[in-house]
RNA sequence: GCGCCUGUAGCUCAAUGGAUAGAGCAACGGCCUUCUAAGCCGUAGGUUCUGGGUUCGAGCCCCAGCGGGCGUACCA
């Protein structure tokens, strides 16, 4: 159990002993170290309920908890009624010991208790290469999966491939047109078809592999073939980006299993549907949606909505306790209806959580770059990553919260990529690695005397390292990797300051040992923090 | 019209309803015979869009207004 969890437990016990009403215990990190290592505003929160001055409550808690000397050396009441806790030297030594002992597992917890969570993200249509929005979603989703695994959830990543429906047929027809074009025949691209140059590339492959016979087949068939090629490309791009999915779930699988028809029967039998104007509607208004939605068209064809319901239902059938979807802002209207469908199928209200990841405005030297797959104006994710680099791009995405509409200027990103904050963090890690390369390998720092770490920079570093588990937990539960990103930048600053002012390798063997131990701990936390953000931790730079 | 998101330093963005609103970049001034200067130290930069409200306390919550983005299909 980490320090914060122990402190919370003590506070809960104290509140019970004082017979105060139940109150959520929340620990904060004070703005400056002078105000302590952790603070708690519970006295302020209780003041309202108890109708007592916050200071009086804080004093009562203070009087009751102050005996526990092993955890903190000092508790202060400050400001309007904060309780500020200062870790004891032994508690901080224990943190250092724990980091050295547990290594990369430091910061892990069992909070999630093995509950299964499925994160679905990117799910870009297989009708063209991915763009920068997918890069943002991929960075975020990947980090959330890692963070949830870290705190004890069984978290999986999934990519849903819409390889069915009209868009795939149009893709097929667009390919057919390009094949004819390559054979010298001029044909117009169908209404709503895809104009991008990648379609020509696919047509060239079709021509060499199939000799051009492809355009005799149905658009659907050609579309499926082309979509599969595109999906392979998407997977390669994402893997180069460092993002892997546990499963690529094809919509066509659902159609083959008739899973959508099964869900349809269920909705019908439960009385959640009705016919109107020859179409079949789902009564989503009964579950909070603005209007009822068509699930079977007049022509008797299911809309995209029906298989989508089946897909999300399937997540529950596969044993996930919670499904988290990262969707783009253009799909926000979709959120309510799919949630309505989950409710109609009897799933708990919090089964499906939808995060709308806001758009990325792509700029080049301040000028907006408009993107449209159909018009063929695309700056692909591949091109972006080649220009900016995966780590620097991820840093930009993960330093913002998901609700921010962010500007991504390619030129600025290129110019600044060398100055990216991610390099600052990686550099701290590389510097530590360098020290260990220079250090005498015979030195056993596990037996170091941590009481020698008395310099301001050393104590600051210890304090920062003790925060890591709290930050990881908050970042995961709030779906906010940007918190971890800020923390790592702060930790790197503190490390660089330590590095500048405290020489590690010296003639003083005992001091060298203690500082090596501190460096190892910082190295572990920096590397693990970067890993949780999906970024690399190079040993030299 | 309605719905979702958004407005914070010159720029890009942080800040679980808490203490003195913080970083990076850009600007200016210092520090390399010492474990990596992709670093350190310092200066400057703010009416958190506006007006009300809620409360011990509001950048954050509520109401109204103004500005920006995105939706508003029997497409996916």
The domain segmentation of chain A, as residue ranges, is: 3-87, 166-234, 421-532
DSSP state of A22: P
- What's the residue count for chain A? 541
What is the per-residue pLDDT for A10?
86
What is the per-residue pLDDT for A66?
59
* Backbone φ and ψ of A258, nearest 5°: 60, 25
What is the per-residue pLDDT for A303?
93
* Backbone φ and ψ of A514, nearest 5°: -60, -40
Burial class (CB in 10 A: 0-12, 13-18, 19+), A196: buried
Binned at pLDDT 50, 70 and 90, residue A145 comes out as very high
What is the per-residue pLDDT for A69?
66
- Answer for the pair A56, A47: CB distance below 8 angstroms, yes or no: no
Which has the closest alpha carbon to A496: A519, A475, A476? A519
- Is the fold of A3-87 the same as that of A421-532? no
d(CA A402, CA A214): 43
A278 touches strand B (CB under 7 A): yes
What is the per-residue pLDDT for A102?
96
d(CA A421, CA A486): 10
From residues 366-385 of A, list those within 7 angstroms of strand B by Cβ.
Answer: none
Lowest mean pLDDT among A7-11, A248-252, A507-511, A520-524: A7-11
* Per-residue pLDDT tens over the stretch A406-426: 999 887 777 666 778 999 999
In what side-by-side order are the strands of the sheet with A322-327? A247-250, A154-161, A116-120, A322-327, A352-356
From residues 425-464 of A, list those within 7 angstroms of strand B by Cβ.
Answer: 427, 430-431, 433-435, 438
d(CA A44, CA A47): 5
- Answer for the pair A288, A200: CB distance below 8 angstroms, yes or no: no
* Backbone φ and ψ of A59, nearest 5°: -65, -40
For the stretch A443-463, what's the b/e string if a residue is b when 16 or more beta carbons lie within 10 angstroms of its beta carbon?
eebeebebebbeeebbbbbbb
What dihedral angle (degrees, nearest 10) is formed by the CA atoms of A87, A93, A97, A98? 0
Distance between the alpha carbon (CA) of A131 and the C1' atom of B30, Å: 45
What is the per-residue pLDDT for A373?
52
Predicted confidence (pLDDT) at residue A377 exceeds the cutoff of 70 = no
Predicted confidence (pLDDT) at residue A310 exceeds the cutoff of 70 = yes
- Answer for the pair A340, A295: CB distance below 8 angstroms, yes or no: no
Binned at pLDDT 50, 70 and 90, residue A372 comes out as low
Taken in order A74, A77, A83, A84, the sign of the CA dihedral is negative
What is the per-residue pLDDT for A2?
82
What is the per-residue pLDDT for A370?
65
Span A445-463, average pLDDT:
92
d(CA A103, CA A108): 10
Count CA atoms closer than 13 A to A521's CA, side-chain side.
32
Architecture, CATH, for domain A421-532: Orthogonal Bundle (1.10)
Span A444-466, average pLDDT:
93
Which chain B nucleotides are covered by protein, judged by CB under 7 A? 2-7, 11-16, 18-20, 22-26, 34-41, 55-57, 68-76
Which has the closest alpha carbon to A255: A298, A280, A220? A220
What is the per-residue pLDDT for A295?
96
DSSP state of A129: -
Which amino acid residue lies closest to nucleotide B21, measuring CA to C1'? Answer: A31
What is the per-residue pLDDT for A467?
94
What is the per-residue pLDDT for A210?
80
What is the per-residue pLDDT for A174?
92
Architecture, CATH, for domain A3-87: 2-Layer Sandwich (3.30)
From residues 91-130 of A, list those within 7 angstroms of strand B by Cβ.
Answer: 125
Distance between the alpha carbon (CA) of A361 and the C1' atom of B22, Å: 25
Predicted confidence (pLDDT) at residue A495 exceeds the cutoff of 60 = yes
Span A385-393, average pLDDT:
91
Distance between the alpha carbon (CA) of A44 and the C1' atom of B11, Å: 39
The CA-atom distances, in angstroms, between A413 and each of A365, A386, A423 are 10, 12, 13
Taken in order A319, A324, A330, A331, the sign of the CA dihedral is positive
Predicted confidence (pLDDT) at residue A24 exceeds the cutoff of 80 = no
A50 touches strand B (CB under 7 A): no
* Per-residue pLDDT tens over the stretch A35-91: 889 999 888 888 877 777 788 888 888 888 855 667 888 899 988 889 999 999 889
DSSP strand pairing (A360-364 vs A367-368) = antiparallel
Q: Which residues contact A520 (CB under 8 A, 6 or more apart)?
A: A99, A100, A432, A436, A445
Which has the closest alpha carbon to A43: A29, A57, A27, A24? A57
Q: Is A86 helix (H, G, I), strand (E, B) or coil?
A: strand
Lowest mean pLDDT among A29-38, A285-294, A320-329, A337-346: A29-38
Give the Cα-Cα-Cα angle A224, A179, A253 (nearest 5 degrees): 0
d(CA A89, CA A74): 11
- Answer for the pair A237, A149: CB distance below 8 angstroms, yes or no: no
d(CA A363, CA A365): 6
Count of H-run helices and E-run strands, chain A: 19, 15
The mean of the pLDDT values for chain A is 91
Span A320-335, average pLDDT:
93
DSSP H or E stretch at residue A328: none
Question: Taking the CA atoms of chain A, what radius of gyration do you get in angstroms?
Answer: 28
A44 touches strand B (CB under 7 A): yes
What dihedral angle (degrees, nearest 10) is formed by the CA atoms of A26, A31, A33, A37? 10
Span A501-510, average pLDDT:
95
Span A218-242, average pLDDT:
93
Q: Tell me the sheet residues that pair with A364.
A: A367
Task: Give the ipTM of the model, two decimals please.
Answer: 0.95
């Amino acid at each position: 159990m980490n320090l914060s969890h122990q402190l919370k437990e003590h506070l809960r016990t104290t509140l019970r002993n004082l017979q105060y009403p139940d109150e959520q215990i929340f620990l904060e990190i004070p703005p400056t170290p002078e105000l302590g290592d952790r603070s708690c505003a519970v006295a302020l929160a209780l003041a309202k309920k108890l109708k007592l001055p916050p200071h009086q409550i804080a004093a009562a808690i203070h009087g009751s908890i102050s005996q526990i000397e092993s955890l903190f050396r000092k508790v202060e009441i400050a400001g309007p009624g904060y309780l500020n806790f200062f870790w004891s030297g032994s508690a901080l030594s224990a943190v250092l010991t724990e980091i050295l002992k547990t290594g990369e597992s430091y910061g892990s917890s069992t909070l999630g208790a093995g509950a299964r969570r499925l994160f679905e993200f990117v799910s870009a249509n297989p009708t063209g290469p991915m763009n920068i929005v997918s890069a943002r979603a991929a960075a975020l989703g990947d980090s959330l999966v890692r963070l949830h695994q870290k705190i004890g959830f069984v978290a999986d990543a999934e990519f849903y491939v819409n390889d069915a429906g009209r868009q795939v047929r149009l893709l097929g027809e667009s390919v057919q047109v390009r094949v004819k074009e390559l054979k010298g025949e001029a044909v117009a691209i169908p209404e709503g078809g895809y104009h991008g140059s990648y379609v020509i590339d696919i047509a060239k492959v079709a021509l060499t592999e199939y000799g051009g016979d492809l355009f005799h087949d149905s658009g659907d068939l050609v579309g499926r073939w082309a979509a599969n090629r595109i999906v392979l490309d998407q997977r390669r791009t994402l893997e180069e980006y460092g993002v892997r999915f546990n499963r690529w779930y094809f919509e066509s699988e659902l159609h083959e299993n008739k899973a959508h028809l099964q869900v349809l029967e269920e909705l019908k039998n439960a009385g959640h549907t009705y016919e109107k104007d020859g179409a079949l509607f789902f009564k989503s208004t009964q579950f909070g949606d603005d209007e009822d939605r068509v699930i079977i068209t007049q022509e008797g064809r299911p809309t995209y909505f029906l298989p989508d319901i089946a897909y999300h239902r399937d997540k529950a059938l596969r044993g996930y306790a919670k499904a988290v979807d990262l969707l783009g802002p253009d799909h926000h209207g979709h959120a309510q209806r799919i949630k309505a469908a989950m409710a109609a199928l009897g799933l708990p209200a919090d089964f499906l959580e939808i995060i709308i990841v806001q758009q990325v405005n792509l700029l080049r030297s301040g000028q907006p770059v408009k993107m449209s797959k159909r018009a063929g104006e695309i700056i692909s994710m591949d091109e972006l990553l080649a220009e900016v680099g995966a780590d620097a791009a991820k840093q930009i995405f993960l330093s913002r919260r998901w609700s921010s509409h962010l500007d991504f200027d390619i030129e600025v990103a290129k110019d600044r990529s060398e100055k990216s904050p991610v390099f600052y963090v990686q550099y701290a890690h590389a510097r530590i690695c360098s020290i260990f390369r220079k250090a005498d390998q015979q030195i056993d720092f596990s037996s170091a005397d941590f009481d020698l770490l008395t310099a301001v920079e050393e104590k600051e570093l210890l304090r920062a390292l003790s925060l890591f588990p709290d930050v990881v937990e908050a970042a995961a539960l709030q779906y906010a990797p940007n918190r971890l990103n800020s923390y790592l930048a702060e930790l790197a600053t503190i490390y660089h300051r330590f590095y500048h002012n405290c020489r590690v390798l010296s003639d003083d063997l005992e001091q060298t040992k203690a500082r090596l131990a501190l460096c190892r701990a910082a190295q572990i936390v920096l590397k693990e923090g970067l890993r949780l953000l999906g970024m690399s931790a190079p040993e030299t730079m």
